[in-house]
């Protein structure tokens, strides 16, 4: 196995290979999230779409690796892994912190290949011009747990388990440091079409802040507002996937 293949196995999870796929959808988890968040997507999307879920360091089978705390480092490493996998058109989907990572990777892949991606989906994330730095990663542990509890998306039982909390804390603090210290550059709009998705009562991403992603592409843009909070995409998974299929031109 080559070093490139070894690196891809560390970073990407393919829960259901699709030999007949015509597009790869690379999915980026939220802060403290991991690749299995998208496991059901690999099963429910049609054979045209092969789902690759990004597994960041510092969680599950990569728990022994320190989580990354700088967006440029993370985006560069994922870009290096994806760059050789352009034998099929590549689309990116990211939720919350994952949307910011996906955008940074899209910028790098466009620049490296001088060509647009098939699509960029940004979910539950304000456009870069509305990014809000923060300092929660510097605060007490209990404040970070309260924040995670407030956002939802994490099993409440896990948040009350001392062993799990101890294992998760370094990753939680590192992910918050990464996104809170992120400083988007004033870049040229992408040539890749963008679809933005958001819940109508998401306290982390107001609809008008998400709509501002329109200014980050020279190609097509659309905005879909669901009823729900920051993790609207869990109860609305079927509708989200239908939108992904439609945007990829597979209907």
Rounded Cα distance between 55 and 191, Å, is 27
- Told to judge if 135 belongs to the known catalytic residues of this protein, a careful annotator would answer no
Query: Residue 105 and residue 26: Cα distance in Å, rounded?
Result: 11
Using left for φ > 0, alpha for ψ between -120 and 50, and beta otherwise, residue 248 falls in alpha
Distance CA 195, CA 156 (A): 31
In 152-227, which residue ranges form alpha helices assigned H by DSSP? 156-159, 162-180, 207-211
Q: Which of 3, 7, 34, 96 is catalytic?
A: 96
Backbone angles phi, psi at 235, to 5 degrees: -70, -20
Distance separating alpha carbons of residues 35 and 177, to the nearest angstrom? 20
Parallel, antiparallel, or unpaired for β 119-123 and 194-199? parallel
**Residue 48 contacts by C-beta under 8 Å, 6 or more apart in sequence?**
18, 20, 21, 22, 23, 248, 250
Q: Is-contact 235 228, C-beta < 8 A?
A: yes
- Beta-strand runs (E) in the chain: 12-13, 23-28, 49-54, 90-95, 119-123, 194-199, 221-226
**Residue in 113, 153, 136 with CA at minimum distance from that of residue 29:** 153
Give the integer Cα–Cα distance in Å for 206 and 202. 6
- Supply the residues annotated as catalytic: 96
């Amino acid at each position: 196995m080559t070093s490139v293949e070894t690196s891809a196995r560390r970073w990407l999870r393919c829960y259901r290979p699709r030999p007949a796929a015509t597009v790869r959808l690379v999915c980026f988890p939220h802060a403290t999230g991991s690749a299995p968040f998208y496991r059901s997507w690999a099963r429910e999307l049609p054979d045209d779409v092969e789902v690759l879920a990004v597994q960041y360091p510092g969680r599950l089978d990569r728990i022994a690796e320190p989580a990354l705390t700088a967006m440029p480092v993370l985006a560069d490493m994922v870009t290096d892994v994806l760059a050789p996998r352009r034998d099929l058109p590549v689309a990116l989907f990211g939720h919350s912190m994952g949307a910011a990572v996906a955008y940074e990777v899209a910028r790098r892949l466009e620049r490296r290949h001088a060509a647009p991606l098939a699509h960029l989906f940004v979910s539950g994330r304000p456009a870069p011009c509305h990014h809000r730095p923060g300092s929660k990663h510097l605060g007490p542990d209990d404040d970070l747990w309260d924040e995670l509890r407030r956002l939802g998306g994490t099993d409440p039982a896990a948040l009350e388990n001392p062993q799990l909390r101890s294992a998760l804390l370094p990753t939680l603090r590192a992910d918050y440091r990464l996104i809170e210290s992120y400083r988007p550059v004033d870049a040229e709009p992408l040539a890749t079409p963008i679809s933005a998705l958001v819940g109508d009562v998401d306290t982390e991403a107001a609809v008008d802040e998400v709509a501002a992603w329109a200014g980050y592409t020279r190609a097509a843009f659309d905005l879909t507002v669901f009823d729900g909070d920051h993790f609207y995409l869990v109860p609305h998974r079927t509708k989200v996937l239908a939108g992904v299929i439609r945007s990829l031109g597979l209907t």
